[in-house]
Chains A and B, each alone.
Chain A
Amino acid sequence: MPNFIDRRLNPKDKSLGNRQRFLKRAREELKRVIKEQVKSDRIIDVDAAHGVPMPTDGASEPTFQPSRGSGERDYVLPGNKEFSAGDRLPKPEAGGGGGGKGRPGRGESDDDFQFILSREEVLDLFFEDLELPDMVKLNLKETVTFKPRRAGFATAGTPTNINVGRTMRNSFGRRMALHRPKEKELTAITDEIALLEAAPEPTAKDRQRLKELRSELERIEKKRRRIPYVDPVDIRFNRFEQQPLPNANAVMFCLMDVSASMGEREKDLAKRFFVLLHLFLKRRYERIDIVFIRHTDEAHEVDEQTFFYSTQSGGTIVSTALEEMLRIIEDRYPSQIWNIYAAQASDGDNIIGDSEHCAALLREKLTKLCQYYAYVEIIDERETEIFGSTDNGTALWRAYRTVDGEKTNFQMTRIAKPADIYPVFRRLFARQPATRTRK
């Protein structure tokens, strides 16, 4: 009889530590790959597991290896069909010399080897240079929030959840039904016994009575022992159910200037800005629609692909985008039903005279409809010195500044690098979830 051991219930993920070490080692390369992928992915896909090619830098394990193209070798191969001794076969031109013919290549080609990073790991890498506070990262990674909700009673549970009222009611009913002698009866009898015993000269009748009382006392005590005051069958516990928090619908508007002045770098930054907002919304809302509005001197609703990848020539009139957004809200997303979020990215260019119109639109209409309106102006890295967060800047910037002062749900910032994005969302993240969700 051998020794059988069932290991199936042993702790899983024995290799997890090794995997993390490996990821740490390949971090730089993985970060680059993830960045590329985020650039090309759809916004809603960022938040998922990604396959990445096996990193080569930092993950190589060199050993002394014979080189392919030198020396004399003999191979023995199976399955000869037509060769006889002395036959000469031309070597394959490319590749590892004659060995390529029969020798197994060292491992298969690793080109198609994708290895899967979990959602968690992807977000870690994505967040890395956004410089988010840890609390926020944690919030974004958390998937669905549950809230324990009272749901009746249970016969099993932890002592802290005992429902005393319910338990005592059960106990009372049981005691009544089983005629458990009351404390009062017991004390009455013991008092009487004490009285009789204290009598100096007990009569025969007294003695008889005392005997009866004693046996009665014994019966009562026995019965009280048999029927306890609180029995395990009486105990009830409060029962809780984990209920997912009610989530409402949200719509996210992405507004972007696509005129020629928005280059590759600007669009990349804008995309990260949109992704971050989307991640935030996804945490709070069950269903999120995304509307992409791009504008030059006229605005259109487009799909994501067009939004990020096709350029359009023309001037820049920002208010067209705001008007388009208003129109879509009226059409499809009534603000009583939808939580509306908007994120606008631009390089600050606008046609003369339009900026005031934009500010007015925002002040009068949009900020009243929206939960949150975030505006980023993407500037050149060299310009950061000049425009700190001062009031001067483009006409659009100055106009928006006036709104910024008035409305709490409007935020604006200038960004030149990924780390600048976060502040515009700061107020959004600071708020407790579910305080302003409208159903």
Chain B
Amino acid sequence: MARRATSGLLFQGSDWNFATLSRTYDAIETIALEEMGLSIYPNQLEIITSEQMLDAYSSVGMPLMYQHWSFGKRFAYEEHHYRKGHRGLAYELVINSNPCITYLMEENTMAMQALVTAHAAFGHNHFFKNNYLFRQWTDAGAILSYMDFAKKYVMKCEERHGTAAVEAILDSAHALMDQGVFRYRRPPRLSSEKVRERARERLEYEEQTYSDLWRTLPQVAENRDPADAERDASERKKVLNLPEENLLYFLEKHSLILEPWQRELLRIVRVIAQYFSPQRQTKVMNEGCATFVHYTIINRLYDQGRIGEGHMLELLQSHSNVVFQPDFDDRRYPGINPYALGFAMMQDIQRIATEPTAEDRDWFPSFAGNGDWMETLRDAWANHRDESFILQYLSPAVMRKFRLFQLSDRSSDRFVEVASIHNERGYSAVRTALANSYDVAANQPDIQVMDVDLLGDRQLRLQHNVKHGILLDEGSRDATMRHIRHLWGYEVSLAGVDVQTGRTVYECSTAKAAD
């Protein structure tokens, strides 16, 4: 170990300047790349003010975003809480792009800048580049230019069709953002500018050459036997690729009333939703990874004698704030802290790999005591999302540390029951339940397009696959349905079908709601 090595402290005092930032970055980079073996996108570090941070918050963390009133609402909300002192701003913000953009707040002390650099520019960056979800579902190289295109395109549409018309489409599209994501099928890559341009031109051409004559062609004979109708239906479903889980995609491709520019707007919203979907599925891992990386790097720097003790105390204090987990009955309890859980699990993996107990050998025969904790972690970071990560790596030791317990809540009962706790009998149940609660796909309502009768009344039939009897909140459901109707152009109906029994639980439609 190169203890007390060459150069002494990287920085002194709390003020930063670009020389110290850069020197510190180099020291961190050496540790991250050579000792931890991280693999990252090239970094771009941008210094911003607190106001700019608020701006970035309200445009969902993207440096470029089209204009919409909902971002103004979010901004007002964030600003209020910040001004009132209810919550501080994040020290940094990092964007999954190539080069990887990290925002550093100007108010941070130099020590914090070091922590944040290690956290975001190396921890998150490594995760973005290597995790399978991000690799498969997002395109870090293209996102910035796409957002640039999106912003300009929305602006162009507003000039051409008026702000109100564009806003109406975006409102409806935002309502379906959660249902605008492919979960199982790989979405097409973001095509280059040229290809998109060609597609748009084709659409416009088709629109210009639309001929009403086709509609007057003689219909098929009226009296068809039921078998025919059924065959037609299945044919139709095949053509439309039904059932379809991505409502935005379906509306974009098959809506009967939308004009090309409106379809393009839906596509923009859908692409953004898809871009963010891996982040929602990897909160614990992503934050855990970044926290673990900064913790390891900062400690190494301290061991090398490159960070003074005073700064180390400051960093440890803010680190422990970040990984603080209040108990469920604490007034501050906001849910399980992803930083805390992720960091604890990763530290535990390190421990199991180096100093396993007999219990660990039982639970994790594949890597207990293998000594190479870094390799084990890199493998976990690359190949899991929250659900599978917890399912595979949550150890009894961590469950005991957090004193996790499982509550089961049936709406028909007047009580909740403690189903299992952190003991021998409960470990696997608690672990499974926790993993399930991080399964985004399972926790969001599963709503799919089942059928649409293009030749008949053109009603769009949706089906809500009801899991565990959890229904939809009626007020927001009807409001959202109205948005779908707005995009589809004709009536929309929704049927809730229980997954286990196949029974229809409820039915509703925009036609009835309007009565």
A-side interface residues toward B, CB under 8 Å? 1-8, 10, 12-15, 17-25, 54, 59-81, 83-91, 97-99, 101-104, 113-116
Chain A minimum-CB-distance residue to B407 = A75
B7 interface residue (CB < 8 Å to A): no
Contact B407 A64 (CB under 8 A): no
Of the candidates A1, A21, A75, A98, the one whose C-beta lies within 8 Å of that of B67 is: A21
Q: Does B234 contact A (CB under 8 A)?
A: no
Residue from the list A5, A64, A79, A86 in contact with B45, Cβ < 8 A = A5
- Give me 16 other A-B pairs in contact (C-beta within 8 A), A3-B43, A66-B443, A79-B403 excluded: A2-B42, A3-B99, A5-B46, A18-B72, A60-B479, A64-B178, A67-B471, A71-B468, A71-B469, A74-B409, A77-B328, A77-B405, A78-B403, A81-B327, A91-B414, A101-B407
Task: Find A104's partner among B18, B43, B335, B423 (CB 8 Å cutoff).
Answer: B335
- Choice from B416, B418, B468, B474 contacting A85 with Cβ under 8 Å: B418
Asked whether B472 lies within 8 Å of A98 as measured between CB atoms, the reply is no
A-B contact pairs, 8 of them (CB 8 A): A25-B69, A71-B469, A78-B403, A79-B326, A80-B404, A88-B418, A90-B414, A101-B416
Inter-subunit contact A74/B25 (CB<8 Å)? no
Asked, given contacts A2-B45, A8-B47, whether A72 binds B67 with beta carbons under 8 Å apart, the answer is no
- Asked whether any CB of chain A lies closer than 8 Å to the CB of B231, the reply is no
Contacts known (A14-B52, A19-B75, A98-B416); A79 close to B327, Cβ less than 8 A: yes
Residues of B within 8 A of A21 (CB): 67-69, 72, 163, 167
B75 CB to nearest chain A CB (Å): 4
Q: Judging by beta carbons under 8 Å apart, are B106 and A15 in contact?
A: no
Interface of B is mostly: mixed
Asked whether B22 is an interface residue with its Cβ less than 8 Å from the other chain, the reply is yes
Of the candidates A66, A85, A114, the one whose C-beta lies within 8 Å of that of B471 is A66
- Min Cβ gap A372→B in Å is 40
Report B494 CB to chain A, min CB distance, Å: 9
In whole angstroms, what is the CA distance A292 to B16 when docked? 58
User: Binding site of A, secondary structure by majority: helix, strand, loop or mixed?
Assistant: loop
Residue B175 at the chain A interface, CB threshold 8 Å: yes
Asked if B161 CB lies within 8 Å of chain A CBs, one says: no
Q: Does B71 contact A (CB under 8 A)?
A: yes
| Contact in complex: A10, B52 (CB < 8 Å) | yes
B334 at interface (Cβ–Cβ under 8 A)? yes
* Residues in A whose Cβ lies below 8 Å from that of B47: 4-8
Closest Cβ of chain A: how far from B382's Cβ, in Å? 23
Tell me, rounded to whole Å, the shortest Cβ–Cβ distance linking B384 to chain A. Answer: 18
Is the CB of B26 closer than 8 A to any CB of chain A?
A: yes
Q: Is B330 an interface residue (CB 8 A)?
A: yes
Contact of B55 with A15 in the complex, beta carbons under 8 Å: yes
Enumerate the 6 nearest inter-chain pairs by beta-carbon distance, A residue then B residue, closest first: A79-B327, A22-B72, A71-B470, A18-B72, A98-B409, A62-B479
Query: Do B45 and A115 touch across chains, with their CB atoms under 8 A apart?
Result: no
B437 with A5: CB separation less than 8 A: no
Whole-angstrom CA separation of A4 from B445 in the bound complex: 43
> Does residue B33 face the partner (Cβ distance < 8 Å to A)?
no
Contact of A1 (CB < 8 Å), options: B26, B68, B171, B334? B26
Given contacts A78-B404, A83-B405, A91-B416, contact A65 B45 (CB under 8 A): no
Partner of B470, one of A14, A73, A113: A73
Whether A64 touches B46, Cβ cut-off 8 Å, given contacts A73-B408, A76-B336, A115-B77, is no
Q: Which of A61, A64, A67, A76 contacts B70 (CB 8 A)?
A: A61
A56 to chain B, nearest CB (A): 11
Query: CA–CA, A7 to B176, complex, Å?
Result: 34
State the CA gap A67–B336 with chains docked (Å): 21
Chain B residues positioned under 8 Å from A64 (CB to CB): 178-179, 444-445, 447, 472, 476-477, 480
B251 CB, min distance to chain A CBs, angstroms: 15
Contact flag A71-B405 (CB < 8 Å), given A79-B326, A88-B417: no
Residues of B within 8 A of A89 (CB): 407, 415-418
> Which residue in chain B gives the minimum CB-CB distance to A14?
B55
| Contact A2 B437, beta carbon cutoff 8 Å | no
Given A21-B67, A64-B476; A79-B328 close (CB under 8 Å): yes
Smallest Cβ-Cβ distance to A62: which chain B residue: B479
Output the nearest chain B residue to A24 by Cβ-Cβ distance: B69
Are the CB atoms of A62 and B476 closer together than 8 Å? yes
Kindly provide the distance from the CB of B110 to the nearest chain A CB, expressed in whole angstroms. 14
Min distance, Cβ B463 to any Cβ of chain A, angstroms: 13
| Docked-complex contact B329 and A79, CB < 8 angstroms | yes
A54 contact set on B, CB distance < 8 A: 73, 76-77
| Interface flags, B161-173, vs A, CB<8A=1, else 0 | 0010001000100
| B421: Cβ under 8 A from any A Cβ | yes
